[in-house]
A and B are shown apart, each in its own frame.
Chain A
Amino acid sequence: MTDKFAPKPDSSVIVQAEKVNKFFGKLHVLNNISLEVRQNEVVVILGPSGSGKSTFLRCINHLEKINSGHIYVNGHMIGYSERNGKLIEDNEANISRQRAEIGMVFQRFNLFPHLTALENIMEAPVHVRKIATAQAREDAERLLARVGLEAKRNQYPNQLSGGQQQRVAIARALAMKPTLMLFDEPTSALDPEMIGEVLDVMKELAHQMTMIVVSHEMGFAKAAADRVVFMDYGQIVEQGTPDEFFSNPKEERSRLFLSQILH
């Protein structure tokens, strides 16, 4: 078990990625990615499509495997243990236990269509955490209120707008009381008039918990991010505060990217 812990545990570091490499066949999708995220920090990852930013996010809760390197969340290595320098994939129960501490919000919401909004939120607390149904219901109602949807508790996902679905999806992830929230392009599948309501919920959460957000929303990055990380071709090209990055990008590739998306 000892090798499950980071060499120098620093309790304020929530995510520590060290030299993460991943290949899809010959394609080097993640090229020596190293990144540290501290408690209650909000990190926005930017980059052109195909830059590996979503893949990296999905490695943090082991929805994707990695080929080498280490990812620690709360000091525990995610998805693997290491023996003689080799990564050995964890058993399913361990991986599930780790994922339960990491919330994830998907581009396509992925609400469970056969369950109501309230049941979507209660599902994992009841069946994974084994919390009593009455307690889980109370928590779920509080979370629905927090995302402004208490009136929609008994609606099914297909009766909700995209923005409402994504807010329920955020509440569903929060119901597990995660220490870290991952947002994978949470507004990319939304109609423009619904993006604001989702970003508002995310801004509410910012600095109350650790967040890693893959998004193109400059407004959100400027308003809520502590740090912007720019990725291209599977590498971290540049990182800094939103101010530094947006007004004075150091790298040529960052400048090119910004000039493309700001038009």
Chain B
Amino acid sequence: MYHFDWALFWTYVWPVTALQNPLIRNGLLATVVVSIIAQVLGVVFGLFAALGKMSKFPGFRWLAEGYIWYFRGTPLLVQMALLFFGLGVTHIYDFPDIKFGIVTITGAIQAGTLALAINEGAYMAEIIRAGIESIDPGQMEAAKSLGMGYALAMRRIILPQAAKVIIPPLGNEFNNMMKTTSLMEIISAGELFFAFNQINARVFKPFELFIAASLYYLLLTTIWSLIQARIEAGLGERKGDTEKQGMFARLLSGTSKGGH
């Protein structure tokens, strides 16, 4: 019969005590910050890849399609290891630590964030492309007939409309992103899962500690789902939609994708 260590469990579940541990404090911060930065970069990469894929120039199309094909067709874990260890060992780029005053961004965090962002870009590309293609071609024609070039028409006319289509799946992507940051453990980036793993290496209580770790991820994704529901309700109001998906319906359905 396994003896469940309740005292240790509550120490690491209850935020007031858990966050006294600098590993967990920094890990939680890193998970949130890395998720946001990787997602923002992922949207930027995805936008360029989407525009590239729809370009009339074959060179851009091939480039974008190659990017999407490779990064959706290979495991993120492998991409991350390749980027960090691969570039490091060849001295193409060593990922030196970057210091901003008292904050140090380790090379592993940089590499992990970049890998997450590049991988996310490949998924965002398809979401953004679908969003752009959902807009009536008459919109682009009207913009052109008024003397707008492609870039101006995209920025002022097409993308603001496509955003309404893109934002719901983008929210789900961010939900996934917060969970996926845990893969950075493989390159010893100091995020949340790495923190719990480090503690486990000292006390060897994997059952208690990893339940606690999972609850922190659950807290993050639940908070985000609440925010997401707010954002989408706002979008829906402007569109005049009356149907709104409940928070629990969202938690139970929309957020599980798995595999990337």
Contacts and interface: CB of A to CB of B under 8 A. Distances in A.
B152 interface: yes
A63 interface: yes
Interface in B128-177: 136, 138-139, 141-150, 152, 156-157, 160-161
Interface residues of A, number: 29
B240 interface: yes
A100 interface: yes
Contacts of A172: 146
B38 to A, nearest CB: 29
B147 A97 contact: yes
B138 A173 contact: no
A96 B160 contact: no
Nearest 8 A/B pairs, CB to CB:
A100-B147, A110-B142, A124-B146, A104-B145, A110-B138, A128-B147, A96-B149, A99-B147
A173 B145 CA distance: 9
B51 to A, nearest CB: 14
Given A112-B157, A113-B161, A158-B240, A124 B147 contact: yes
A123 interface: yes
Given A113-B161, A128-B152, A106 B146 contact: no
Given A110-B139, A114-B161, A173 B146 contact: yes
Contacts, number: 64
A193 interface: no
Contacts of A113: 161
Interface of B: 136, 138-139, 141-150, 152, 156-157, 160-161, 240
Contact of B156 (A104, A123, A158, A176): A123
Contacts of A114: 160-161
A101 B148 CA distance: 12
Contact of A96 (B138, B142, B144): B144
29 contacts: A61-B145, A63-B145, A92-B149, A96-B144, A96-B149, A97-B147, A99-B146, A106-B138, A106-B145, A108-B138, A110-B141, A111-B142, A112-B139, A112-B142, A112-B143, A114-B160, A114-B161, A123-B146, A123-B157, A124-B146, A124-B147, A124-B148, A127-B156, A128-B147, A158-B240, A169-B142, A172-B146, A173-B145, A176-B146
Contacts of B150: 92
A128 to B, nearest CB: 4
Contacts of B141: 63, 106, 110
| Most A-side CB within 10 Å, residue of B144, B145, B160 | B145
Nearest to A103: B145
B146 to A, nearest CB: 4
A209 to B, nearest CB: 16
B175 to A, nearest CB: 26
